[in-house]
Amino acid sequence: MMRLDKLLCHSGLGTRTEVKKIIQQKRIYVDGQIVKKGDIKVDENLSVIEVDGQRIQYQPYLYMMLNKPAGYISATEDHDGKTVLSLLPEYDYASLFPVGRLDKDTEGLLLLTNDGVLAHRLLSPKHHHGRRYYAKIEGVVTVEDVLAFQQGVILDDGYRCLEAHLDILNVDEKQSDIEVEVYEGKFHQVKRMFEARHKKVIYLKRIQMHHLCLDPDLPLGKYRFLTKEEIDELKQ
Ligand code: URA
């Protein structure tokens, strides 16, 4: 048994505030009866729950994509700074956590879920799932850098990276725009790969993780639920 309002939020009906409003508008039926309070207990497997006549199916897991702004830490708790979870205050009951980390100054795609099995699979080093980044690099990125990334650059601690794909988008003498796809998630990986080539990352944004692409219509600091197709692709 669980609280009706929690079940409705988990099913993607809306945030806690939106769900409260829908209940107040008397649009929810449980086993054929109008419901006026969100704190009643329902059976997530047996109760027939409808909104505006449409049956709601309980979803135990939530999957969100966040367009992370700089200045937020990819953790569930931090004593000194703002965490990415503070950008989703309506879901603080849902035990969401970020799947992997982006540095505090990195922007872009961050998956948040409470599905530990999927998170583990996506992060497992043995699967080599791709992570694609857009970056601005100080100075000129060259074809030699592309080849070095292909061969696996050696980081400051002696670790040889897996092959990575570097695409040069635009170059002038001050700055280069690139995209890079890496197949592992070492600490500060992209920044350290460029450091190994004596180059500095001045802006970094993740645009893809495995099959999941950052929604170009999602403003910085905003989140949305993944679609069923996106969840299925991630689970492949
Ligand atoms: N590589 C980095 O250097 N930083 C990130 O945040 C992600 C990948």
Do 135 and 205 share a domain, yes or no?
yes
40 and 23: one domain? yes
Please indicate, yes or no, whether residues 154 and 187 belong to a single structural domain of this protein.
yes
CB environment 58-89: b (16+ within 10 A), e (fewer): beeebbbbbbbbeebbbeeeeeeeeebbebbe
Question: What does DSSP say about strands 41-42 and 201-209: parallel, antiparallel, or unpaired?
Answer: unpaired
Length of the chain: 236
Whether residues 114 and 136 fall in one domain:
no
- Position in ligand 1 atom list of the atom nearest CA 188: 3
Q: Where are the beta strands (DSSP E) in 13-102?
A: 28-30, 33-34, 41-42, 49-51, 54-55, 63-68, 72-73, 82-83, 97-98
User: Are 150 and 134 members of one domain?
Assistant: yes
| Alpha-carbon separation of residue 206 from 8, 34, 88 (angstroms) | 31, 45, 19
Last residue of a domain, one of 55, 75, 93: 55
Is 167 an annotated catalytic residue? no
**Of 188, 171, 82, 84, nearest to 133 (Cα)?**
188
Residues 96, 203 within the same domain: no
Q: Does 137 sit in the ligand 1 pocket, CB within 6 Å?
A: no
What does the block give as tokens for 120? Answer: 């583990």
CB 176 within 8 Å of CB 140: yes
* Same-domain pairing of 7 and 112: no
Ligand 1 pocket check for 132: Cβ under 6 Å? no
Whether residues 216 and 121 share a domain: the answer is: yes
One pLDDT digit (tens) per residue for the chain, 236 residues: 999 998 998 887 888 889 999 999 999 999 999 999 999 999 988 999 999 988 988 878 899 999 999 999 998 887 777 999 999 887 777 789 999 999 999 999 999 999 999 999 999 888 889 999 999 999 999 999 999 999 999 999 999 999 999 999 999 999 999 999 999 999 999 999 999 999 999 999 999 999 999 999 999 999 999 999 999 999 98
Same domain, 183 and 70: no
pLDDT for 125? 84
Query: Is the distance from the beta carbon of residue 74 to the nearest atom of ligand 1 less than 6 Å?
Result: no
Q: pTM to 2 decimals?
A: 0.86
Q: Do 135 and 203 fall into the same domain?
A: yes
Quote the CA–CA distance of 232 and 1 in Å, as a whole number.
Answer: 27
Q: Cα of 90 to ligand 1 centre, how many Å?
A: 28
Rounded Cα distance between 32 and 220, Å, is: 41
**Ligand 1 geometric centre to CA of 187 (Å):** 7
154 three-class SS? strand
Q: How far is the CA of 133 from the centre of ligand 1 (A)?
A: 9
Q: Of the candidates 55, 71, 94, which is a domain's last residue? A: 55
Q: Assess contact for 118 and 234: CB atoms under 8 A.
A: yes
What domain range includes position 115? Answer: 63-125+212-235
Q: What is the CATH number of the domain that holds 197?
A: 3.30.70.1560
Note whether 187 and 223 are same-domain residues: no
Domain containing residue 14: CATH number: 3.10.290.10
Structurally, how many domains does the chain consist of? 3
Q: Are residues 74 and 12 in the same domain?
A: no
- Give the domain CATH number at 71: 3.30.70.580
* CA gyration radius, the chain: 21
Does residue 165 line the site of ligand 1, with CB under 6 A? no
